[in-house]
Amino acid sequence: MQSRRATYRSPWLPYLLLAPQLLITFVFFLWPAGQAVRQSFLREDPFGLSTRFVGLDNYTRLFHDPGYLNSFKVTLVFSVSVAALSIGLALLLAVSADRVIRGHRGYTTLLVWPYAVAPAVAGVLWWFMFNPTIGILPYLLGGLGYAWDDRLKPGDAMILVVLASAWKQISYNFLFFLAGLQAIPQSLREAAAIDGAGPVKRFVTIVFPLLSPTTFFLLVVNITYTMFETFAVIDATTGGGPAQATNILVYKVYQDGFIGLNLGSSAAQSVVLMGIVMVLTFIQFRFIERRVQY
C-alpha cells in the first residue's frame, strides 16, 4: 500500500491489461443490463414479432399489481428472517468454537461444510425432510399435534424456505465471526476478567462491540444473499407458493419472464432489483468496507 501509483512506459499497457476484465464486465454485465433496461420500456409478444414502445407503462403496471407489492413484503420478511437467524446462530457457534480448546479445527471444518452444498441441493434436502407425505419432520410434528403442511399453510412454507436458506448461510457467517473473534486481542478480555467481568458481561461490553463492523458487513452480505442467491432454494422447495406466500422478487422475475414469457414486466422487475443491488453495494462500500478487518 506504500505506492499507489505505478508508472508504465507505454500509455496503452494498463488499458491492455485491463481489457480482459473490462470485456467480461461488458459482455456479462453491462450488455445484458442494458438489454434489460431497453426491454423494460417495451411491450412485446414472446416471439418478438411485434414490439411496441410503451414508456413507463411496465413500471406503473408493476406498482399497481398487488402480486408485486406482496412480493416486496414477502422478500422483506424472508430476508430479515434469514439474516437474523443465520447471523444469530453463526455468532453463537463462533463464540462456542472460539472457546473450545481441544478439537477446535474439527468443529470448524464440520461447521463450514454446509456452505459447500449447492442451494438447489440444500432446498431438496429440506423439502424432503419437511414433505407432508414422506418427510420425517411432519411425522414427528404430527405426534406433537401440529399438522405441518408447507403446500397449504403460508407460514409453514415461509419457515421451510427460511430454514433451508439460513442453514446454508450459517457457515459463511461463522467463518467471518470466528476470524473476527480471533482478531480481538486476548489482553482486552483478560483485563476485563481481572476487573471482575463475567463471560456474559465480557461478551456484551467488549467482544460484541468489537465485532460490530463484522456484523454490519454480514448483514449487508446476507441480505444480498437472501435477495438474489436463494432462487434455487425457492425453486426446489415451494416454487413461490402456496398462493405466492414465498414468491420473492427474484423468483417473480423468473416466473413472469421465463414461465409467463412476459418479458417487458420481467425486465422492469430486473431493473428494480438492479437498483436495489446498487443501493446495497453503495452502502457496503461507503460505510462498511473501510471498517471491517478481514
Q: Is residue 160 a contact partner of residue 126, using CB atoms and an 8 Å limit?
A: yes
Here's the x/- map for other proteins, 25-44, by CB under 8 A: it reads as: ------------------xx
CA distances from 88 to 58, 177, 208 (A): 39, 11, 12
Residue 243 makes CB contacts below 8 A (sequence gap 6+) with 154
One of 1, 4, 6, 49 touching other proteins (CB under 8 A): 49
Instruction: Give 79 or 255: the residue with its C-beta nearer to other proteins.
Output: 255
One of 134, 144, 200, 279 touching other proteins (CB under 8 A): 134
Residue 47 in the binding site for other proteins (CB under 8 A): yes
Residue 156 makes CB contacts below 8 A (sequence gap 6+) with 130, 148, 149, 150
Residue 114 in the binding site for other proteins (CB under 8 A): no
One of 39, 255, 269, 270 touching other proteins (CB under 8 A): 255
Residue 202 in the binding site for other proteins (CB under 8 A): no
Residue 81 in the binding site for other proteins (CB under 8 A): no
Residue 72 makes CB contacts below 8 A (sequence gap 6+) with 249
Residue 137 in the binding site for other proteins (CB under 8 A): no
Residue 39 makes CB contacts below 8 A (sequence gap 6+) with 263, 264, 267
CB of 56 to other proteins, least distance (A): 16
Nearest to 171 by CA among 120, 131, 225, 216: 225
One of 1, 11, 20, 48 touching other proteins (CB under 8 A): 48
Q: Which residues pair with 42 in a beta bridge?
A: 53
CB of 67 to other proteins, least distance (A): 8
CA distances from 171 to 67, 89, 111, 175, 278 (A): 33, 10, 6, 6, 26
Q: Which residues pair with 53 in a beta bridge?
A: 42
Residue 274 in the binding site for other proteins (CB under 8 A): no
Interface region with other proteins, contact rule CB under 8 A, candidates 161-169, 193-201, 257-265, 277-285: 257-265
Interface region with other proteins, contact rule CB under 8 A, candidates 109-117, 205-213, 214-222, 237-245: 237-245
Positions in the binding site for other proteins (CB under 8 A): 43-50, 131-134, 151-154, 239, 241-244, 255-256, 258-262, 264
